Amino acid sequence: MLIRNSSNGFDHAVPSEITSPDIYRQRRRFIAHMASGVAGIALATWAQRDARASVHRPGKLAAMDAMPSNVAGAMVMDKVTPYTDASTYNNYYEFGTDKSDPARNAHTLVTNPWSVQIEGLVKKPGAIDLADLLKVAPMEERVYRMRCVEGWSMVVPWVGYSLSALIRRVEPLGSAKFIQFETLADRKVMPYLNSRVLDWPYAEGLRMDEAMHPLTLLTFGMYSEVLPKQNGAPVRLVVPWKYGFKNAKSLVRIRFTEQMPSTAWNKAAANEYGFFSNVNPNVDHPRWSQATERRLGEDGLFAKKRKTLMFNGYEAQVGQLYAGMDLSKNY
């Protein structure tokens, strides 16, 4: 179902057991498959869901060896959301504004070859291709809670490494205070770029200390598999204490700046989407409460909602980043 806000012209989508995947696989094979673009693609046919989306699943990668994370707070003991839910209920507006659109339409995304351009206030700017990007640091598996602004949450096992490893590699200048992340905007493969929902390309941003926090993940896989295209292949950002729209997909540019960068949703509706966008149940969205949530794949539409946790449950790990800030104004 879509709720249209006639005042600003953009849409919000509102909603949709578990076989745990074998996560212990060898990293070398994962890198080889990702870099060469020859990862075996297995098409799994699933029953028709409410979203009416079928899953193009990358398939198991024999031997990935992504070790469980030793980063404090990275591993969540909550029940993991089923893959079918996490991969068919997505916000990726370049492929459609309905939650089921990305799973239907993102097959057109071309992820090989791929590179990420490093720009701005760094000693080592330039393009980094995917093969080299995958080798920056050892891969880890991290089970994170994820919370979307519309009131739904999920628990996803992501595969990647702390973004801080890449940041250190490119050596930011002392004047770099923020990082802007820009995603692919290719009208040949992204049909909804012709819409006026947002100002394309999609851009997001973090303060430098947020980007350097060990929980901030540069992500290449999920559920021990290559990222599905609708989930942001081949590389995306995952910041688990922030609302989902901060987690930019299909990254092509990382820019280091002195001034706070513009972000897509903040430009579209600054009164609804602040730069920080931390999960804060005490600050309502102008059109709905953020105090509770439903867990995707677990809580039905008529099930009792669960209480939303401050910073999505990561307050002990990240709360100090915002000491002294008024989080009702810096939302």
> Average of pLDDT values for 163-177?
98
pLDDT one-digit tens code per residue, 79-109: 999 999 999 999 999 999 999 999 999 999 9
Confidence of residue 195 (pLDDT cuts 50, 70, 90): confident
In a domain, 58, yes or no: yes
In a domain, 326, yes or no: no
- Predicted confidence at residue 38, as pLDDT, reads 37
- Predicted confidence at residue 72, as pLDDT, reads 84
pLDDT one-digit tens code per residue, 115-160: 999 999 999 999 999 999 999 999 999 999 999 999 999 999 999 9
Confidence of residue 57 (pLDDT cuts 50, 70, 90): low
- Predicted confidence at residue 66, as pLDDT, reads 77
- Predicted confidence at residue 59, as pLDDT, reads 56
In a domain, 248, yes or no: yes
- We report the CATH number of the domain holding residue 273 as 3.90.420.10
**Domain ranges, residue 91:** 19-319
pTM: predicted TM-score of the whole model, two decimal places? 0.84
pLDDT one-digit tens code per residue, 196-213: 889 999 999 999 999 999
Can you tell me the distance from the alpha carbon of 159 to that of 68, in angstroms, rounded to the nearest whole number? 9
- b/e 172-203 (16+ beta carbons within 10 angstroms → b): beeebbbbbbbbbeeeebbebbeeebbebbbb
Count how many domains the chain has. 1
In a domain, 23, yes or no: yes
In a domain, 284, yes or no: yes
Can you tell me the distance from the alpha carbon of 25 to that of 224, in angstroms, rounded to the nearest whole number? 8
In a domain, 310, yes or no: yes
In a domain, 196, yes or no: yes
> Average of pLDDT values for 230-253?
98
